[in-house]
Amino acid sequence: NAGVTQTPKFRVLKTGQSMTLLCAQDMNHEYMYWYRQDPGMGLRLIHYSVGEGTTAKGEVPDGYNVSRLKKQNFLLGLESAAPSQTSVYFCASSAGTLEQYFGPGTRLTVT
Amino acid sequence: EDKVVQSPLSLVVHEGDTVTLNCSYEVTNFRSLLWYKQEKKAPTFLFMLTSSGIEKKSGRLSSILDKKELFSILNITATQTGDSAVYLCAVGAYLNTGNQFYFGTGTSLTVIP
């Protein structure tokens, strides 16, 4: 039982490049979330999904897209990376408003 | 606007001290309040509170929720250096689009030997 896994763990991008972050969970959770964490800002919700094939915007969705084609996977895409997207990205899953289980995070630097 | 506010922002104590961390919230369609501990990696779950006045305990940590005054506290007694971390408060809410969580900015706790 791996819980929530994220790939990659680290990535450096140049401005304008694109990339996809993958989140996978093996707990059969309906809900999955993508957060970014910046110093002094806490965790801010980017997008979330309440089930396979559904997505919804969170607090800071601009510049990101997501897809949930399979229940266990939640992908976060950056189409044209900007330095302001330098952050640590966490994926989480939950069964409703019960506790969230977090992945180990992806540290992204955009130069 | 929904918000979760934690105080203090940071705290430095000596081993053996007792600390109280605060979390106040203004969130519509409140469903749950959760506390997490974050060391230099992903947040790990501590407590989930849904009812007022019922204390939850785990070892030296305890937490209680007041849904009338819209706040929660996290107490840590006999602190140890291993308690040094950022403590996050989150509120779960139900929206038309599904469940969402709102996080506070966290309280950074440093325990000095």
Cβ of A45 within 8 Å of Cβ of B45? The answer is no
CA distances to A5, B2, B6, B95 from A59, rounded to whole Å, are 23, 10, 18, 13
Which pLDDT score is estimated for A97?
63
Largest Cα separation within chain B, whole Å, is: 48
Interface residues of chain B, partner chain A, Cβ below 8 Å? 31-32, 34, 41-45, 48, 88, 90, 92-94, 97-106
Closest CA to B20 of B62, B56, B52, B57: B62
Average pLDDT over residues B3-17: 96
CA distances to B2, B40, B70, B86 from A40, rounded to whole Å, are 18, 15, 23, 11
Average pLDDT over residues B34-48: 92
Q: Are A33 and B101 in contact (CB under 8 A)?
A: yes
Tens digit of each residue's pLDDT, chain A (111 residues) = 679 999 999 999 999 999 999 999 999 999 999 999 998 778 999 999 989 999 999 889 999 999 999 999 999 999 999 999 999 999 999 887 678 899 999 999 999
Task: Quote the mean pLDDT of chain B.
Answer: 93
Cβ of B99 within 8 Å of Cβ of A45? The answer is no
Helices (H), chain A: none
Q: Would you report the helix, strand and coil content of chain B in percent, each value rounded to 5? A: 5, 65, 35
Average pLDDT over residues B28-55: 91
Considering only B9-18, B45-54, B79-88, which range has the smallest mean pLDDT? Answer: B45-54
The closest CB to that of B42, out of A40, A49, A90, belongs to: A90
Q: What is the pLDDT of residues B72-110, one digit of tens each?
A: 999 999 999 999 999 999 998 887 777 788 999 999 999
Which pLDDT score is estimated for A1?
67
Cβ of A101 within 8 Å of Cβ of B45? The answer is yes
